């Protein structure tokens, strides 16, 4: 049994943003760096599922703990797995480049600036939601946003197994009407692909209908939190800089008045 859980035709048609890699429409994702609970959950997911391959080599554990409200003792106890790692160290993984190439065919990228390089968090958010089963790939998984990706679906135990489903739908003109071929008078169609979550029954350890441990809604929240955390890592000082910018603008607004009056007095002496 299967059920459609992520993509609808209406969603696909309405999204204007497209992935540069595949032309696939990206999902909307609005990060919230003031939500420390989301950032903490995202950090937990990253340390447990991503850090084995992807480092954050420009970010330190101490800065992360301070920014997202985690006491240093808890950070070291629950989110730092190497006993030799200190709170002031950079967030690096232990996998060598040689092993990475042997296992995945390429070195997994550092993700510190990933959301910045991709122009925002939408790419990563969509990417993590659109893995699907593909027996032709070496690691058994592919992705709608990045076709023929060398990465396995690291969160599959949470999400479950998806399959790619493509349908032919009418192609719409700018005015919303269906486009028609002038010669054959037949409606023009285009192929749209989406995801179906494969339901593979219950198991003693997985008490949901699919092979993942989370419901689709819960998994989307996990992906949101993880993407939110990686977005924060790309620019940890963003909130401080924005707050400082507000105070600077307020100062300039007040400073303008005496500066204008002083300039007017100087002009009087000149003339």
Instruction: Dump pLDDT digits (tens) for 172-194.
Output: 777 777 777 767 767 777 777 77
Do 129 and 17 belong to one domain?
yes
Do 107 and 57 belong to one domain?
yes
How many domains, in total, are found in the chain? 2
For the stretch 45-71, pLDDT in tens is 999 999 988 999 999 999 999 999 999
Q: Say how many C-beta atoms besides its own lie within 10 A of residue 44's C-beta.
A: 17
pLDDT exceeds 50 at position 206: no
pTM: 0.77
Do 120 and 151 belong to one domain?
yes
Structural domain including 266 reads 240-271
Do 175 and 158 belong to one domain?
yes
Do 269 and 256 belong to one domain?
yes
Do 181 and 244 belong to one domain?
no
Instruction: Please report the pLDDT score of residue 62 as a whole number.
Output: 97
* CATH number, residue 153: 1.10.760.10
Do 60 and 75 belong to one domain?
yes
């Amino acid at each position: 049994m299967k059920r459609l859980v992520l993509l609808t035709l209406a969603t696909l048609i309405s999204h204007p943003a497209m992935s540069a890699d595949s032309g696939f429409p990206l999902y909307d994702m609005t990060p919230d760096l003031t939500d420390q609970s989301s950032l903490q959950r995202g950090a937990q997911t990253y340390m447990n599922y991503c850090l084995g391959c992807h480092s954050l080599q420009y970010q330190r554990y101490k800065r992360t703990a301070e920014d997202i409200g985690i006491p240093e003792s808890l950070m070291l106890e629950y989110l730092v797995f190497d006993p030799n790692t200190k709170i002031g160290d950079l967030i690096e993984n232990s996998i060598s480049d040689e092993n990475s190439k042997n296992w995945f065919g390429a070195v997994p990228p550092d993700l510190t600036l990933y959301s910045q390089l991709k122009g925002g968090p939408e790419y990563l958010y969509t990417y993590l939601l659109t893995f699907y089963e593909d027996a032709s790939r070496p690691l058994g998984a592919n992705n709608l946003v990045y076709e023929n990706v060398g990465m396995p679906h690291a969160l599959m135990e949470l999400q479950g197994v998806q399959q790619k489903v493509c349908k032919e739908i009418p192609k719409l003109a700018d005015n919303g009407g269906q486009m028609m071929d002038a010669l054959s008078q037949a409606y023009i169609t285009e192929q749209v692909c989406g995801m179906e979550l494969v339901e593979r029954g219950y198991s003693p350890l997985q008490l949901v209908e699919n092979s993942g441990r989370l419901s689709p809604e819960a998994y989307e929240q996990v992906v949101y939190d993880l993407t939110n955390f990686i977005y924060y890592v790309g620019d940890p000082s963003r909130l401080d800089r924005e707050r400082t910018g507000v105070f600077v603008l307020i100062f300039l607004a007040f400073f303008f008045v005496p500066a204008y009056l002083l300039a007017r007095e100087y002009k009087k002496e000149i003339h």
